[in-house]
Amino acid sequence: MAHRTVESVMTPVAQVVSVRPGTPYKEVVKLLTQHAVSAVPVLGEAGHVLGVVSEADLLFKETRTASSGSARAAISPKQALSRHKAEGATAVELMTAPAVTIRPDEQVAAAARRLEEHRIKRMPVVDGEGRLVGIVSRRDLLRVFLRTDREMEAELRSLLVDSFWIDPNGWSARVSEGRVLLSGRMDRRSTVRIAESAARRIDGVVAVDNELTYTEDDSQVPPVREVPFKGVFAGLHRSGGRH
């Protein structure tokens, strides 16, 4: 099954808005506003991703006055980091590092999980050396749901018939608005399960309605009886004498 990769939906590096370590605070704010993005990668001389400056990083300066206390008061590491960012004047002082990144050959589903796990809206896509090759955002990942019903239907049928060798007769797979309807009859219950599982894994599928029936229930196949192994020469003493 050919799942969409991050490379197929990401914004390529030539179109990515980025900053250098010494980019001033106000310039970072200006770039985020002008390009309507929530974060920008901070790049080193060779294009390596050093970190990311997000809207959240920039807002520490806004909350500095409200949360400021005695400079002598004991503070936690988290509070110390917040204070450092609030006092930061350049991208390298504001950024979150190391950055959460992903490789271009990873699947779209993996990117979605990573964004959710770290509660971020976008992340840099890097090569094996850590150099920026693109940016992927939540909006980019939603592009898989723009696939046409016909495209998904053709992929599913090809997968079931050509890859899983399921008999193409007696059943159908129809897609409408991203919703798959499986109907008809297949030979075995296990085959029906395979069909439904495959349908759910097609990129762009929203839901699956499985109305398939089956001829044989092979879910309760009796276990194979194990015969104790007595060795290669186990029967020689019975069939022959001493040599």
pLDDT given at position 226? 59
pLDDT given at position 112? 94
Give the single-character DSSP code of 72.
Answer: T
pLDDT tens-digit series, residues 43-86: 998 999 999 999 999 988 776 655 555 555 555 565 555 666 76
171, 82: one domain: no
Full residue range of the structural domain in which residue 84 is found: 6-143
SS3 percent helix, strand, coil of the chain, rounded to 5, is 40, 25, 35
pLDDT given at position 60? 83
pLDDT tens-digit series, residues 97-109: 999 999 999 999 8
For 1, residues 6+ apart whose C-beta sits below 8 A from its C-beta are 159, 163, 198, 201, 202
Given a contact cutoff of 8 angstroms between Cβ atoms, the answer to whether 44 and 92 are in contact is no
Interatomic CA distance for residues 156 and 202, integer angstroms: 7
pLDDT given at position 103? 98
Q: DSSP letter string over 89-150?
A: -BHHHH-BSSPP-B-TTSBHHHHHHHHHHHT-SEEEEE-TTSBEEEEEEHHHHGGGGGS-HH
Share of the chain above pLDDT 70, in %: 80
Least confident among 25-39, 58-72, 125-139, 200-214? 58-72
Tokens representing 167? Answer: 């008999």
Given a contact cutoff of 8 angstroms between Cβ atoms, the answer to whether 24 and 58 are in contact is no
pLDDT given at position 222? 65
Interatomic CA distance for residues 190 and 219, integer angstroms: 7
Q: Which residue in this structure is represented by tokens 């092979």?
A: 218
Q: Is residue 221 part of a domain?
A: no
- Provide the mean pLDDT of the chain: 87
Interatomic CA distance for residues 127 and 49, integer angstroms: 10
125, 198: one domain: no
130, 64: one domain: yes
65, 84: one domain: yes
pLDDT given at position 65? 53
Mean pLDDT for the stretch of residues 2-30:
94
Q: Looking at residue 200, which CATH number applies to its domain? A: 3.30.1340.30
Q: Is residue 232 part of a domain?
A: no
The band of 213, judged by pLDDT with boundaries at 50, 70 and 90, is: very high
